Amino acid sequence: MVKSHILSGFLKFSLFALLISVLTGCPNYIPHQANFDETKNSRYYLAQSENSSGSEKINWQLFAIRALLNEGNLTQAKQLLDQIPKSLNNEQEKEKILLQGEVAVKSKQKFDISSLSLANLNEDQKIRYYKIKIELDGQKQDNNAKIHDLIELEKYGSVEQRHDAINLTWQFLSNLSEKQINKILVYANEYVLQGWIDLSYLYNSNLKTYAINEQDDADTIARLEEDKYKALKNAISEWQIQYSSHPAANYLPRDIYGSKHRLSDPSEYKKVALLLPLSGQSKIFGETIRLGYQDAAKVSSENQQQDVIYFDTNSDSIDNLVIRAKQQGAQLIVGPLLKQNVQTLLQSSPDLPVLALNKIEDINSLPSHANKICFFALSPEDEAKDAAKHIYSENKKQPLLIIPHNNLGDRVAKSFSQQWDITNPNSKGIYVQYFNSAQELSKKMNSGIGIELEGIPLTHSNTESTIQNNSVEQPKFDAIYIYASHEELTLIKSMLEMKSNKVIANADGNNNKNENKQSEIKVIPMLYASSRSNIANTTTDFRYDMDKLQLSDIPLIVKQKERYSQLPDYIKNDFSLVRLYAMGFDAWTLSNHFDTLIPYQTGIINGETGRLSVTEQCDITRTLSWIRYKNGNEVAIN
């Protein structure tokens, strides 16, 4: 009973105190303060203030002043600001000082903002504080203070606001003279500022190197502009490596390459989910492709940028990774790499378009998908088809294939045969000779057993290739395509020579002997090999032994341009990794052009993996580069 009486008395007292507080307008009572809404105009906030009183009315008035400033109505904002009473709570006082500062800078007047303590400001207020300071720095022509305040501004706000700060910083620096930049004080621990200064130096150095003179004609100016752009891209790429943690290394200022090559806004970036093995035994493959993908983005002259999300295919199921990619806003999936993962992805019928980095056995049997799916693979089947085209282009009519006796060899033979029948409709078919392993070849060679110029006919019918086992008369072969490892190729060529007079035909089918003796010698037909036989750092002896043999590989390896020389040694010394790097490089380009990839497009991209074309079912194929061994050297074939 006593407890009930006490509780009743307490409630009465509380209600009475609250009523007195409201009626007397007690300053200790502060109503809940709403947040400023950028989407509301000044009329909205003025209407709210008209329907309010006390401290709440002041809050709405402060918001109205801010809205008026956003609308450019400086006169009315000043008038309303003068009406704000002097007796304010702490939050209102901070807001009033910020508004006074914003009015001052818009009026090009001096202002002392030191009365505000940065530690007592929320994030939005800190952004406004530094924007006021930056304008005041400009009034004083204090470049040192301004660059420091711009760097501080970049630390706050949303991603878009921080990007705006980076663009403002570059706009400021790019308008300073070299003398002004040299006067900016940089202390040892000011990593971000030093990065900005170095970026300015390399930018100005580029401008000087490729300066345009009055007497330059239009062609000279165009060439200088292009050279300047390429040199600046390379220099900035090196800067990004040196300052990898710098805010501008991840988001370059939009105008850093000039108006012609203005970078797109992050909101316009295509969001791509890159599915690769980034852990486990296949980690090195995935990391190498990722490096190629990233490098392509750095050096590309295309304005299209990407926001790439990386997913490790060894960390979760493919189905879950696709769900996560979609949740994070991905617009395109690039990958996966491993064939079994591609199969799983196709079975799940993803509701995102896909650029798969491998393909299944029979693409033509795939059911139709609601979303576009393309296939980009470094497959031996594609290489065999390219070899068939190349060999036929050299006027060869009767090839012999020497291939491993396994599933891989059968696939190579089938693909070569299919393409040979398309290229040469009047063909009598190709012939195949199998070998089992390097160990078996070595044993035969040591026993004095060579390789005869003979094979088993391989006929092509619709989608299946079959071996004809019956004995038939051997045709006169004018080309041999060898699909073998480096070690196997060395043995096979030596064993072919054991059964001949060691004369290899030239590309036109003739030999170097006197034509009158043609019937007395046994000529080895022109030899062709695949990239599987090509390794880094071949010996001079090997190149002499392979004299006149032709070999296909990707352009990055065959041409060995500047990009090849810049590769890390662990990649450069392993051609299988170089090919994966090139695959990642071309995958970036393909993903940028994904929407325009349609069947039966030829030579759409001159890539690092080859000249890329699109066939049916959006299968991307490659035309490779070829070399010929001659006098111990590798000579590129056009």
CA 181-182-185 angle, to 5 degrees, is 90
Query: Strands, E, within 184-320: which ranges?
Result: 270-276, 306-312
**Which is higher by pLDDT, 363 or 516?**
363
Residue 134 lies in a domain: yes
**Can you give the pLDDT at residue 30?**
35
Q: Are 88 and 62 in contact (CB under 8 A)?
A: no
- More confidently predicted of 365 and 327: 327
Per-residue confidence (pLDDT) for residue 364, from 0 to 100: 62
Query: CA separation (Å) from 559 to 342, 522, 574, 637?
Result: 31, 35, 16, 10
- Position 267 scores a pLDDT of 67
pLDDT in the model for residue 223 = 85
- Average pLDDT over every residue of 415-432: 90
Q: CA-to-CA distance for 248 and 256, rounded, in angstroms?
A: 11
Is residue 263 over pLDDT 60?
A: yes
Rounded-to-integer distance, Cα 460 and Cα 304, Å: 44
- 234-238, 272-276, 371-375: range with highest mean pLDDT: 272-276
Task: Give the model's pLDDT for residue 35.
Answer: 81
Task: Judge whether 525 lies within some domain.
Answer: no
Window from 156-170, 321-335, 462-476, 547-561 with minimum mean pLDDT:
462-476
- Bridge partners, 403 (sequence order): 434
Indicate yes or no: pTM above 0.75.
no
Mean pLDDT in residue range 314-338: 92
Mutual orientation of helices 486-498 and 438-446 as an angle, nearest 10°?
30
The per-residue pLDDT for 573 is: 94
* Helix then strand then coil, % of the chain, to nearest 5: 50, 15, 35
The answer to which of 22-31, 313-322, 577-586 has the lowest mean pLDDT is 22-31
Position 411 scores a pLDDT of 93
- pLDDT tens, 37-96? 877 888 889 999 899 899 999 999 999 999 999 888 999 999 999 999 989 999 999 999
Residue appearing with tokens 């930018």: 203
One-letter amino acid for residue 62 of the chain: L
**pLDDT tier at 206 (50, 70, 90 boundaries)?**
confident
Rg (CA), the chain: 36
Please indicate, yes or no, if residue 540 is contained in any of the structural domains.
Answer: no
Name the region of 139 (left: φ>0; alpha: ψ -120 to 50; beta: rest). alpha
Q: What is the pLDDT of residue 521?
A: 55
Residue 23 has a pLDDT of: 32
Is the predicted pLDDT of residue 306 greater than 70, yes or no? yes
Whether residue 417 lies inside any domain: the answer is no
Q: What percent of the chain has pLDDT over 70?
A: 87
φ, ψ of residue 184 in degrees (nearest 5): -70, 130
pLDDT at 292: 95
Lowest mean pLDDT among 33-37, 531-535, 567-571, 578-582: 33-37
Contact 457, 468 (CB under 8 A): yes
Identify the pLDDT of residue 221.
Answer: 82
Cβ distance 481 to 417 under 8 Å?
Answer: no
Confidence grade of residue 441 (pLDDT, cut at 50, 70, 90): very high
Number of domains present in the structure of the chain: 1
Q: How far is the C-alpha of 341 from the C-alpha of 358, rounded, in Å?
A: 9
Task: Domain of residue 113: give its range.
Answer: 42-140
Q: Tell me what the pLDDT averaged over the chain comes to.
A: 85
84 is a domain residue: yes
pLDDT reading at 5 higher than 50:
no
Q: How many other CB atoms are there within 10 angstroms of residue 599's CB atom? A: 12
Is a pLDDT exceeding 70 seen at residue 21?
A: no
pLDDT confidence bin for 10, thresholds 50/70/90: very low
Least confident of 367-371, 380-384, 450-454: 367-371
The answer to whether 440 and 458 have CB atoms below 8 angstroms apart is no
Lowest-confidence region among 29-33, 237-241, 429-433? 29-33
492 has pLDDT over 80: yes
Q: What is the pLDDT of residue 195?
A: 95
Any domain includes 231? no
Q: CA 605 to CA 106: how far, in whole Å? A: 52
Return the exposure string of 269-292: e unless at least 16 CB atoms fall within 10 Å of the residue's CB, then b.
ebebbbbbbbeeeeebbbbbbbbb
Reported as a pLDDT band with limits 50, 70 and 90, residue 502 is low
Is 124 domain-assigned?
Answer: yes
CA distance from start to end of the chain: 106
pLDDT digits (tens, 9 = 90+) for 242-251: 898 899 987 8
* Distance separating alpha carbons of residues 579 and 558, to the nearest angstrom: 11
Domain of residue 78, CATH code: 1.25.40.10
Mean pLDDT of 196-218: 87
Residue 509 has pLDDT above 60, yes or no: no
Name residue, tokens 């990774």: 321
Q: What type of residue sits at position 121?
A: L
Asked whether residue 175 carries a pLDDT value surpassing 70, the answer given is yes
Q: How many Å separate Cα 198 from the centre of its chain?
A: 25
Give the length of the chain.
638
Q: Any idea which residue has 């190579």 for tokens?
A: 412
The CA-CA-CA angle for residues 335, 340, 341, to 5°, reads 35
Cβ density class 301-331: b for 16+ within 10 Å, e for less? eeebbbebbebebeeeebeebbeebeeeebb
- In 3D, which of 634, 630, 495 has the Cα closest to residue 575? 634
pLDDT at residue 238 greater than cutoff 60 = yes
pLDDT of residue 327: 87
d(CA 38, CA 45): 11
In a domain, 75, yes or no: yes
Residue 26 pLDDT > 50, yes or no?
no
